[in-house]
Structure 1
C-alpha cells in the first residue's frame, strides 16, 4: 500500500511539474532574437484590403505568402517545383512574414495571448497529398516563438494555384491579452 501511495504521489508531482513547465510564459520578442529572425515591415497590400484587423481581442491577419530576404516572393508549385521540405521552408518563411504583420499591427508580440486558428493553403500538384506536413513549417515556428500558446487549430488544404505563383498562403487569427 505504501509503495502504491508513493508511486501515485510521484506521478502527480511529475505531471504537475510538466504542466507548470508547459504554462511557463515565453517572451516572444526574446525568442525571435534567439532564433536569429528579423521581422520586416509588411508589404503594402496590392488591392483594397488591410493586412490585419482587430475585433475585440482577436486579430484577423490576411493571407500572406513567403517573402524572401531580397523582398521578392518565393514561387513554385509543391510536388513539381518544390518538395515537401522546401514547401515546409516556404511555410516557415510565410510565418516570419505573418509575425512581421502581427508585430506591425499590435506593436509588441508580448501582447499576444495565443495563436487561435490558422488556414494554410498549399499551391500543389493534383496528386500531392502532404499539405499538413508543408504547413507544419508554419505551426512549428509558432510554437518555437510562443511556446504552448503557439499551438492552434488549423486547416491545411491544397489549391490548384495561388496569387503570383507562391507555394503557400497562410492566414491566422490571434487572441490578444
Structure 2
C-alpha cells in the first residue's frame, strides 16, 4: 500500500511541476475572483482636472492615479502616521486598488483581457518620520495577487508624500499589459 501511495504522490508531484506557468495562469479568471472576494467594481466618475482615467498604447494600459473610495462614494482621508495607522493605510491602498480596477474594467471591458500587472507607483500621504510606505502599499499589491495570481505581481515603488489631493492617504497609478 505504501508503494502505491508513493507512486501516486510522485506522479502528482511530477504533474504539478510540468504544468507550464502560462497554462496555470490561463486558468485564473479575474472577473470570477472579484465576485468570490465580494468586491463590486464601479466605473470612475469624470476626472476633476484635464486628464483621462486610462490610456492604451499598444498592449499597455496606463491607469491614472486613483485614491481610496469607500462604499458610500466618499474618499478615505487622513495622513498615515498621524490620523491613520499602518493597517488603516493598508486598507486605503486596497480600496484604491478596487477603484483602479473599476477604471481599468471601464476602459477595457473585461479584466480577463489583462495579461499582467506590470508597474505600480504607490504614494503615501505620511508624516515626515513615517517609514513603512511599502507595508501600506502591500494592501494594493496583495489584492492584485488575490485577483490575478502570479500575474498580479508587479514592479513597484512605494514613496512618501507630504500631502495628496483632497487629503487622501494613498494614491496609486499602474501600468497593465493586455493579452
Shared fold (TM-score, shorter chain, > 0.5): yes
* Uncovered stretches (5+) of structure 1, i.e. residues with no partner: 1-9
Structure 2, unaligned stretches of length 5 or more? 1-9
Shift of 1:157: 0.2
Q: How does 1:73-152 map to 2 (within 5 A)?
A: 73-152=75-154
Change (3 A) 1:163 1:15: farther
Alignment match, 1:52: 54
Shift of residue 44, structure 1, vs aligned partner: 1.2
Q: Over aligned residue pairs, what C-alpha RMSD do you find? A: 1.9
Corresponding residue for 1:3?
Answer: none
1:22 and 1:148 in contact (8 A); partners too: no
Q: TM-score, normalized by length of structure 2?
A: 0.89
Tell me the SS of whatever aligns to 1:49: coil
Question: Distance in 2 between the 1:21 and 1:95 partners?
Answer: 28
Q: 1:112 touches 1:176 (CA, 8 Å); kept in 2?
A: yes
* Regions of 4+ moved over 3 Å: 13-16, 18-23
**How many aligned positions are there?**
168
Q: 1:128 to 1:18 in 2, by over 3 A?
A: farther
In structure 2, the residue matched to 1:70 is 72
Rounded to whole Å, the distance in 2 between the matches of 1:160 and 1:86 is: 18
SS in 2 for 1:134: helix
Partners of 1:126 and 1:46 in 2: how far apart? 28
Q: Could you tell me how far apart the structure 1 residues matched to 2:174 and 2:63 are?
A: 5
Distance 1:27 1:65, change over 3 A: same
Distance in 1 separating the partners of 2:133 and 2:18? 31
Question: TM-score, length-normalised on structure 1?
Answer: 0.90
